[in-house]
Amino acid sequence: MTSVIDISDCVLGECLGESALSMYTIPKHVEGITAKAATKYAQIAGTFGVSLGVFAVFFFGEVPRVRNDVLRQFPFFDQYFDRTIAPEDNPF
């Protein structure tokens, strides 16, 4: 037969025994941020970072200094960012 234990009589779980207290654990954290939360925040920040980088490439892609010094260094962008004028189209 089991007896009913009044929780208000327990001090730091002494009346419940060690097994009842070990069911609950506090996850390890740094400044209140757990590893699961940090992974979620890093994934969101990475997504924003990649989208900001893609935006910057296409926004500054028409600036001649960025286009020639940075973007044309990649082989797959070399022909795309080539802005030379054919000699027959040049009026001078």
- Domain contains 1: no
- Domain contains 20: no
Q: What is the 3-state secondary structure (H, E, C) of the chain?
A: CCCCCCHHHCCCCCCCCHHHHCCCCCCCEECCEEHHHHHHHHHHHHHHHHHHHHHHHHHHHHCHHHHHHCHHHCCCCCCCCCCCCCHHHCCC
The domain of 48 spans 28-89
Q: How many CA atoms lie within 13 A of 55 on its CB side?
A: 6
Q: Is the model's pLDDT at 12 over the cut of 60?
A: no
- Domain contains 18: no
pTM: 0.55
Query: What is the per-residue pLDDT across 25-72, written as a single tens digit (0 to 9) for each?
Result: 888 889 889 999 999 999 999 999 999 999 998 898 889 888 888 888
Number of domains observed in the structure of the chain: 1
- Domain contains 73: yes
Match 């797959």 to its residue by tokens: 76
Q: Is the model's pLDDT at 18 over the cut of 60?
A: no
- Domain contains 13: no
Band of pLDDT at residue 21, cut at 50, 70 and 90: low
pLDDT attached to residue 23? 73
- Domain contains 37: yes
- Domain contains 6: no
- Domain contains 61: yes
pLDDT attached to residue 57? 86
